[in-house]
Amino acid sequence: MSLTLDEVRWVAQLARLDLADADLETMTRQLGAIVDYVNQLQQVNTDGVEPLNHALPIHNVFREDEPRPSLPVDAALANAPDRRGDFYAVPAVLD
Amino acid sequence: MIDRTASELLQALNQGETTSEAIAQEFLQIIRNRDSKVKAFLHVNEEDALQQARTVDAKRKRGEPLGALAGIPIAIKDVLCIKGQPTTCGSKILQNFKPPYDATVITRLRDADAILLGKTNMDEFAMGSSTENSAYQTTRNPWDLERIPGGSSGGSAAAVAAGETPLALGSDTGGSIRQPASLCGIVGVKPTYGRVSRFGLVAFASSLDQIGPLAHDVKDAALLLEVIAGHDPLDSTSVNKPVPSYGTVVDQPVRPLTIGVAKEYFSEGLDKEVEQGVRAALKVYEEQGATIKEVSLPNSPHAVAVYYLVATAEASSNLARYDGVHYGYRAKAFTNMIDMYSRTRGEAFGKEVQRRIMLGTYALSSGYKDAYYLKALKVRRLIKDDFDRAFAECDVVMGPTAPTPAFKIGEKADNPLAMYLSDIYTISANLAGIAGISIPCGFTKIGLPIGLQILAAPFEEEKLLRIARMHESKTEWHTKRPKL
């Protein structure tokens, strides 16, 4: 039931995690052990049971659509790794 | 001063016996003396703390109204945003990050005139049970410096236990307040989900995270909870229910009292001395007239499996924002946008964080989501239903907080699964959204603290705290301090 190295490589790509080959191998072993452990849930009878994604029975919480002050630009950009004017500089998104 | 509780310090201040500045000086000196050994703090704001203290002293002198924690120092887990001050979450990826706003709990502490001392160490992004996953330092258990303080709020728990601060805030997603409180011999509370605003709490698992108090005793925890609890329009998962005056009612015992003891919590894997300590605590309650009733929580053996699918799935989503674009670490060398994300995250996330993101991504991925994530959510409902049934016949459920006392640094570092099982008794409370507390109930033969966990139905913190206080009123475990 364990994961293959290829599956782990694929998951790392989905998760945007660049891992060295040695780390991928360790990760494969460790994740395999954990997945084997969580597979015990397959034995639990959950027929007719609805998923519980939230402990509280909360519903959409809205407020009036009125504009409010938001963070000033300088505060918002204060932690920018690469700031150019009022923008975050990033590698090209489109070719 | 440093062995006193916050309530005692408040009394001393109100009676003019001392000043807030004097108290702050004393705690800052203790931090200077002890923290090189304990390593609880990541940042200490000496000048700022003294300035806050002087401001409160001046307010008092002018006869102005004072907040409920006026002049009392508090340490803050580094997962909470304080405006303009470093908030690292124990990670390299946020090494130089300074939030542009205060978390709501911080605003409430400022309004209460508390003195913010600094930020405490934690497992990276709150992922861990020993504080060994911090990218910065390993905090030591003040009762035995070769042992872990628990996690992920290990810094906060160690700081209180070591006398470096009378109060601290932590966060609890799978036991991260209660387990370190147990291992450090102090009190820790995980409020009901939605009781305390999560605005400004860096998210790990949004349906499980809660902020809560760490303190020497239940009375202090009640005072602190009263200050931080309550509805917040900035957190749409916070609940609009009034906050009872926990601090005022905490000394009232609950009678009659029926205590549920789950048989599943007393099985293989539970350390014998921990079991003895917990059973002794149950006797203390029986002597006060409580009835002990055996209950069953049949799905509790599945809690760790459910958690490591649900929490990791939520984390994989919450931690997607750490991509080097807007804040935090950005890799120096990369070929394109996606490569920038991948290298940033590969270089600056620690191993445990990477492991959990991978697990969560896998559990949500196409072809696996039904079998893993959705299945886990169904078993989550069964776990919650177990508690609903138990609370229909008992006021609270009691048991050990952790299966063992504090283990040695490095002992479980190579075995993620063994580490995960440290949370076996605490995890269900987060999955079900209920309230829980850990209180000290004894020591092992070699002097390591043992914790009793008490669990209550949602929004029953008042009852929970009053019941916890009943144990404290007849024992002295909460008065013990380590020799440092």
Q: Where are the domains of chain B?
A: 6-254+472-479, 301-376
Q: Which residues of A touch B334 (CB under 8 A)?
A: 91
Query: What are the start-end ranges of the E strands in B94-186?
Result: 115-120, 167-172
Q: Is A79 helix (H, G, I), strand (E, B) or coil?
A: coil
Look at residue A22 and tell me if it is in a domain: yes
pLDDT band at A54, cuts 50/70/90? confident
Q: Which of A27, A34, A80 sits opposite B327 (nearest CB)?
A: A80
Select from A17, A38, A49 the Cβ nearest to the Cβ of B358: A17
Q: Which one of B317, B335, B358, B368 makes the best mutation probe of the A interface by having the most chain A beta carbons within 10 Å?
A: B358
Task: Write out chain B's pLDDT in tens, 484 residues.
Answer: 788 999 999 999 999 999 999 999 999 999 999 999 999 999 999 999 999 999 999 999 999 999 999 999 999 999 999 999 999 999 999 999 999 999 999 999 999 999 999 999 999 999 999 999 999 999 999 999 999 999 999 999 999 999 999 999 999 999 999 999 999 999 999 999 999 999 999 999 999 999 999 999 999 999 999 999 999 999 999 999 999 999 999 999 999 999 999 999 998 889 999 999 999 999 999 999 999 999 999 999 999 999 999 999 999 999 999 999 999 999 999 999 999 999 999 999 999 999 999 999 999 998 899 999 999 999 999 999 999 999 999 999 999 999 999 999 999 988 888 899 889 999 999 999 999 999 999 999 999 999 999 999 999 999 999 999 999 999 999 999 999 9
Provide the pLDDT for residue B179: 98
Cβ neighbours for B169, distance < 8 A, ≥ 6 positions apart: B74, B75, B76, B77, B80, B105, B109, B156, B211, B212, B213, B214, B224, B228
Are the beta carbons of B433 and A31 separated by less than 8 Å?
no
Fold of B6-254+472-479: Amidase signature (AS) enzymes (3.90.1300)
Residues of chain A contacting residue B372, judged by C-beta atoms under 8 Å apart:
38, 41
The band of A1, judged by pLDDT with boundaries at 50, 70 and 90, is: low
Best mutation target, A11, A43, A63, to test chain B (most B CBs within 10 A): A11
Q: What pLDDT sits at residue A93?
A: 81
- Residue A23 belongs to domain spanning: 5-41
d(CA B322, CA B434): 30
Q: How many domains does chain A have?
A: 1
Residues 41-70 of A with CB under 8 A from B: 41-42, 44, 46, 49-56, 58, 61, 63
- Could you give the dihedral angle defined by the CA atoms of residues A42, A46, A51 and A52, in that order, rounded to the nearest 10 degrees? -100
The residues of B annotated as belonging to the active site are 77, 152, 176
CA atoms B101, B104, B108, B114: torsion sign: negative
Domain assignment present for residue A24? The answer is yes
Q: How far is B35 from chain A (nearest CA, A)?
A: 29
Helix (H, G, I), strand (E, B) or coil at B36: helix
Show which of residues 412-431 on chain B sit within 8 Å of chain A, judged by CB atoms. Answer: 416-417, 420, 431
CATH number assigned to the domain comprising residue A30: 1.10.20
Q: Is the pTM of this model over 0.80?
A: yes
Q: What ipTM goes with this model?
A: 0.95
Average pLDDT over residues A74-91: 95
Instruction: Tell me whether residue A26 is in a domain.
Output: yes
B349, B375, B433: residue with CB nearest A55: B433
Say what the pLDDT of residue B366 is.
87
Q: Does B443 touch chain A (CB under 8 A)?
A: no
pLDDT value at residue B55 = 98
Using CB atoms, pick whichever of B343, B361, B379 lies closest to residue A18. Answer: B343
Contact call for B308 and A34, based on CB within 8 A: yes
